[in-house]
Amino acid sequence: MAAPGAGGGVPRHIAIIMDGNGRWAKKRGLPRKAGHAAGAETFRKIATYCKDIGVEYLTVYAFSTENWTRPQDEVQAIMDLLEKYLKESIEKMEKDGIRLRILGDPTRLSPGLQALIRETDAITDRVQGMQVNVCLNYGGRDEILRAAKAWSEAGGEMTQEAFSRYLDTGMMPDPDLVIRPSGECRISNFLLWQSAYAEFYFTDVLWPDFSPRELDLAIESFRKRDRRYGGVK
């Protein structure tokens, strides 16, 4: 498929903070969980589009270590959507050529979700294709602390490269482009270590309304950036 985003300059790794589901629902007089359901559909469409245009890694922020403070029924609705997505992916991952990884600390998740994550990991290991990372009970600071603990237990050389391997993203490349819809311009504890040299793209569009066209606009903006990594050209 000749997608508009295709061709040179497609970021290798795109990360997205899927924000604005609640406001999207409120504008329509719907409960917040309807916004998350719409957001989950958008995520499916965007993941497919990323695969079509040759993105190698897509990382999305689905539930943060701070999101547990939300009303119980909203937390449950998000967990139900994730469970549904995991079950669906376990069936289709090999056919679709999508490697799915759940990043974050699984220990606070329900035993059912933890079992689905283990099942997903086992299948993903034998799939070739685009990698989709869903961050679940994820926080950048929490990830850095967990990595530091694992690193100090293992010992070994103290370099940035060696430390990175203990992060949830392991050997994956850092994100090139971080997108946050919904008009908020902050990082909210997302990929703190990994986004050191990422390009950021903010848009007012609410996540459920985010479309492949919006992704093309983000990529178009990314292509115009002059990435210097602290150096000069």
**170-229: which residues touch ligand FPP (CB under 6 A)?**
182
Q: Based on the shown chain and the rule CB under 6 A, indicate whether residue 13 belongs to the binding site for ligand FPP.
A: no
Instruction: Please classify residue 204 by burial: count the beta carbons closer than 10 Å to its beta carbon, then call 0-12 exposed, 13-18 middle and 19+ buried.
Output: exposed
User: With binding defined as CB under 6 A, does residue 120 bind ligand FPP?
Assistant: no
Cα–Cα distance between 230 and 2 in angstroms, integer? 35
Question: How many residues would you count in the chain?
Answer: 233
- Active-site residue numbers? 19, 67
Span interacting with ligand FPP, options 21-29, 89-97, 103-111, 223-231, rule CB under 6 A = 21-29
Q: Dihedral, CA atoms, 37, 18, 10, 177, nearest 10 degrees?
A: -170
22 counts as binding ligand FPP under rule CB under 6 A: yes
- Least distance to ligand FPP from the beta carbon of 181, Å? 9
Which residue of 19, 96, 168, 214 would you call a contact of ligand FPP, by CB under 6 A?
19
Select 6 or 187, whichever has its Cβ closest to ligand FPP. 187
The residues facing 61 across adjacent strands are: 17, 135
Q: How far is the CB of 128 from ligand FPP (least distance, A)?
A: 21
Q: Which of 14, 15, 34, 40 binds ligand FPP (CB under 6 A)?
A: 40
> Left if phi > 0, otherwise alpha if psi is -120 to 50, otherwise beta: which for 111?
alpha
Alpha-carbon distances, residue 41 vs 13, 190, 211 (angstroms): 21, 22, 11
Which residues, 48 to 87, sit near ligand FPP by CB under 6 A? 60, 62, 67, 78, 81-82, 85
Tokens at 21, concatenated: 């589901």
Residues near ligand FPP (CB under 6 A) are: 18-23, 36, 39-40, 43, 60, 62, 67, 78, 81-82, 85, 134, 182
